[in-house]
Amino acid sequence: MEIIKAEHMGFCFGVKNAVDCAIKSLDEFGKIYSYGEIIHNKDVVEFLADKGLQVIDDKDAASFSEDSIGKIDAKVLIRSHGVSKKIIDFLEDHNLEYINATCPKVKSIHKIVSKYSSQGYEIIVVGDKSHPEIIGIVGWIDGKYHIAENLEKLRQINIDKEKKYCLVCQTTFNYNILKEIVEFLEKNDYTNIVINNTICDATLKRQKSCYEVAGNCDIMLVIGGKNSSNTKKLYEMCKEKCEKTFLIENYKEIPYKYIDKNTRIGITAGASTPDWVIEEVIRNVRESEQNNE
């Protein structure tokens, strides 16, 4: 059996920082709130819940209301995905203590859309409209905006070449889709659009390295939360290169029936997957080989 690990996988800086902030605060205070699940990984969420992390519903700003202020008896953690300006303003206006663990890459997008929208630009946000990062980004736009999940959706936007636009992208988005969109805009001479490639470097490295591994193995294991956007994108990319690609949350979901001593197994993991979950998967795969000898 051969196990080939992607060169880049697992926690990115933003996620690691948010989790570290949560652990440090929980060790100090015993209880904190997270506005929405801190990351899209069930194992980490359960681990932090056991330490005292409580999740506040993040569906909209109504989660924070005049009625709920008195119930907030601990610091609020803003996760790496970031939140809208409205949420930050609410916390500050009501003197609620919070820890801002928004990823620096996401913060930079907030600054870009805030700056350009205040100058009269319409904003085009490339990404998944239901993802918390996109919801947060939109909350910093002062004016008209559009969300496009792919080239087809972008084509449906009635882009006026006489108007000014600014394009940004979800940090964990599929680089190939963004590339397709940029090539379309350049080919059709949309010089009135300021294009910002805001996909995180860590995302690019993960996507490129998983693609390379998937093309050289018999089975590919993509480790991460089922509701993790960046993990799903890794799965989709690996599936293009390796038919037997499986998205698993942890070692309990290893597809053993496809594995034997002659299998070349590729391993990658989403940005919200901690090292210990990855190592558990690898250890159990190796133990299965030993048990079958």
Active site residues: 133
Residue pair 125/103 in contact (Cβ under 8 Å)? The answer is no
CA-to-CA distance for 51 and 27, rounded, in angstroms?
8
Number of neighbours of residue 108 by Cβ within 10 angstroms: 13
DSSP run (H or E) holding 265: strand 264-269
Rounded to the nearest angstrom, the gap between the alpha carbon of residue 1 and the centroid of all alpha carbons in its chain is 32
CA-to-CA distance for 47 and 107, rounded, in angstroms?
27
Determine phi and psi for 151, rounding to 5 degrees.
-65, -40
Residue pair 281/251 in contact (Cβ under 8 Å)? The answer is yes
Q: Is 225 exposed, middle or buried (0-12, 13-18, 19+ CB in 10 A)?
A: buried
Number of neighbours of residue 102 by Cβ within 10 angstroms: 21
CA-to-CA distance for 18 and 228, rounded, in angstroms?
16
DSSP run (H or E) holding 280: helix 275-291
Paired tokens of 94: 């009501």
